[in-house]
Structure 1
Amino acid sequence: MQVKQSIWLVKCFLNYLRHDKTEVNVLFDILSIFLLHSRIDFTFLKEFYIIEVAEGYPPNMKRALLLHFLNLFQSKQLGHDHLVVVMQMLILPMLAHAFQNGQSWEVVDPGIIKTIVDKLLDQPEEVSAEYDEPLRIELLQLATLLLKYLQNDLVQHRKELIKFGWNHLKREDSASKQWAFVNVCHFLEAYQAPEKNYTSGFCCTSQNLPAGK
């Protein structure tokens, strides 16, 4: 009976959210269930986030959820493991669906892009050094998603984006390094290098940059 309490509570919250989509805090809080080891099958919850939220919420609600996520990230109200689950289950699927279905600018505007670049991706070394590998991977996937669909709107952020990807290429974490290769490849596909030695030149330059620059 105690084991089943979690699934009953989750189903109660889902029924509540289906009647009131404005309760964004509840939507984020429920995801904490994935931080616990359990033999309960929560596939129905994953489907709720992928189908009903990421695909079914209107653009204005998706925008509200994205802004709420950015506030939570900057305020450090959630642990890194919780942020990882939020990005995996909610933010990345939601943005991917929005970008693929012509909702880009209804969900993401230049101000939000700047916040993502400045506050999530282009952090000083002393801040980013605290991120564990799973969070780094999710941030790399976020940056890659933006490069794939919003390349024309990221031109002014090219320096920060390539530095973000390149710095991860130099890390020892094997998994995040693999995602960094994908990220840098999307960057080079989006912004054709004017010179053959562009990447090698950037490598030499980036090695001489002070931390956080």
Structure 2
Amino acid sequence: MATNNIVWHDSSVTKEERRKKNNYQSMCIWFTGLSGSGKSTLANALARHLFEANIQTYVLDGDNIRHGLNKDLGFTDEDRKENIRRIGEVSKLFVDSGQIVLTAFISPFREDRQQVRDILSDDEFFEVYVKCSLDECEVRDPKGLYKKARNNEIKHFTGIDSPYEEPENPAIIVDTETQTVEESVKQIVDYLVQKQLIMVN
């Protein structure tokens, strides 16, 4: 195998040095939830809030990633697993670079989310369950995907003919059915400040 000839090359600048210079903890904040629950909206709102507090972030969005890095993947269970595996590895690179990476992916399977958690340290992976009922997500249906799934135009759609496994012990549960975006962002920021991972005014 080709991997037998690959040797890890250490960086001249360490993750710890980057964190010290940035004055905040690099980490992966993993937003998971049904399509239409508000993952991307919330991730981007949080990114803007942190950016204005001089904290560098980057949002990895499920649809955006499938335009490039993962454009070769479909929506079978196998492809979904590979999608999340790749995002986990990319997220690890962002964390190593000293940034806060916000990922907005349905990521329906607990095993796949755990796999990402396992390649990061305990203080680097924070799962945010963006909770919203299937009924409400179908009412919102911002991309018209639920309608297509109900009409059998889309196969393997999470919540319809493919399962979503709710997080069993997420760091944060954000209920977007009852909370505003602003309230949800504040909930997450308060958590990060309480854990002394960031400092904001």
TM-score w.r.t. structure 1 length? 0.27
User: TM-score, length-normalised on structure 2?
Assistant: 0.28
Of structures 1 and 2, the one with the larger relative CO (CA 8 A, separation 6+) is 2
Tell me which structure has the larger Cα radius of gyration: 1
